[in-house]
Amino acid sequence: KTGVRAVNDMSLTIDAGEFVYVIGPTGAGKSTFIKLLYREEKATRGKVLVDGTDVSRIKNSKVPFFRRKIGVVFQNYRLLPKKTVFENVAFALEVTNTPKTEIRKKVRNVLELVGLENKANSFPHELSGGQQQRVAIARTLSLKPDIILFDEPMSALYADNRLILRKELKALQKEFKTTMIYITHDQEEALTLSDTIVVMSEGKIQQIGTPIDIYNEPINSFVADFIGESNILNGTMIHDKLVRFCGTEFECVDEGFGENTPVDVVIRPEDLYIFPVSEMAQLTGVVQTSIFKGVHYEMTVLCGGYEFLVQDYHHFEVGAEVGLLVKPFDIHIMKKERVCNTFEGKLQDATHV
């Protein structure tokens, strides 16, 4: 739409051989970013440099060379329905005028790599979603590009297929040492596979870092809320290493926020200790819900009007009175992104305050 900036003031450097995940909600600008790299969209400002060459300025006559440098695996795979698996992969090589004898050898090799050597004569409609994606990956790998872009290619697959293909993709990336840039909204996928995560929102980069850094040290409440699950609370930084939230003062490790400053407080659900009420408790509350998640229980605890999400191996029944404790280094303090008007209120009935 006219006047909408899909990607705004975005600056990013990616090293050769790096596996980068660009993640964000719908409308964050992820797909536009991929299209800018692949020249399906033209930037109004800025440059796209590959090995020092501004590929956004390459003339149309040089597009075939550019296609050999950067390959794309699209969300809908873009397979040719009337061509076999072999012919779909070979087509990419034919476009670049590769000799026929070399095409046959390369196609056989790449189909073996992705486990589709027995499907060479099949047509796309005869394949599962996971197999179709392998064809798309094989087609791109056959050109041996320096960079491969992935535009959410696993979004339509079943969970089991996604898990298998994640492992295969990581193995291929290590073997080929290819730079891969992967667009997704799947947090688990990004945390599992990537070397670097780029978190986007509203056309801007919110944070760049390793999966561990992004998860353990989110730069703002948006990143904390989007990557993993978080308890995000209004707080006041009394002074360095001391913060107040939920009507209680807590020691923390953060400094430099000033005195009596409004802040956002982030606590991950797995960082809260839950136990029967005792003198150790920093907060006390009542369990509202308790769900078994396979490796832990996920509970919500209401503490004087504040609701906490807690993940723990110990189970507490709904209605149980419990104590909560959080250690100083598990309390993450960040600047408030928006200053809101807050008022003291009283609930009159179910629909009026």
Q: What is the pLDDT of residue 1?
A: 47
Q: What is the pLDDT of residue 26?
A: 86
- What are the distances in angstroms from CA 129 to CA 35, 116, 165, 172, 188? 23, 13, 11, 19, 20
Are the CB atoms for 326 and 301 separated by under 8 Å? no
Q: Where are the strands (E) in the chain, listed by range?
A: 19-23, 49-50, 53-54, 70-73, 147-151, 179-184, 196-201, 204-209, 231-239, 242-245, 248-251, 261-267, 273-276, 283-292, 297-303, 306-312, 321-325, 332-335
Q: What is the pLDDT of residue 103?
A: 92
Q: What are phi and psi of 47, to 5 degrees?
A: -135, 155
How far apart, in whole angstroms, are the C-alpha atoms of residue 60 and residue 347?
A: 65
How far apart, in whole angstroms, are the C-alpha atoms of residue 134 and residue 166?
A: 11
pLDDT 10s digit of each residue in the chain, 353 long? Answer: 456 677 888 889 999 989 999 999 888 888 888 888 877 787 888 888 888 878 776 665 454 555 557 888 877 778 899 999 999 999 988 887 889 889 999 999 889 888 889 999 999 999 988 888 889 888 888 888 888 898 877 766 666 667 777 777 788 788 778 899 998 888 888 888 899 999 999 889 999 999 999 998 898 888 998 998 899 999 999 999 999 999 999 999 999 999 999 999 999 999 999 999 999 999 999 999 999 998 899 999 999 889 999 999 999 999 999 999 999 999 999 988 655 556 788 888 888 99
Q: What is the pLDDT of residue 2?
A: 53
Residues 6 or more apart whose CB falls under 8 angstroms from that of 294 comprise none
The residues pairing with 308 across neighbouring beta strands, listed in sequence order, are 301
* 3-state DSSP of 246-265: CCEEEECCCCCCCCCEEEEE
Q: What is the SS3 assignment for 204?
A: strand
Q: What is the pLDDT of residue 13?
A: 92
> Which tokens go with 267?
């606590």
In 3D, which of 186, 72, 78, 67 has the Cα closest to residue 132? 78
Residue type at 160 in one-letter notation: D
Q: Name all contacts of 81-84 with Cβ < 8 Å and 24+ positions apart.
A: 81/123, 81/124, 81/125, 82/123, 83/123, 84/120, 84/121, 84/122, 84/123
How far apart, in whole angstroms, are the C-alpha atoms of residue 68 and residue 113?
A: 19
Model pTM above 0.85: no
In 3D, which of 62, 92, 65 has the Cα closest to residue 78? 92
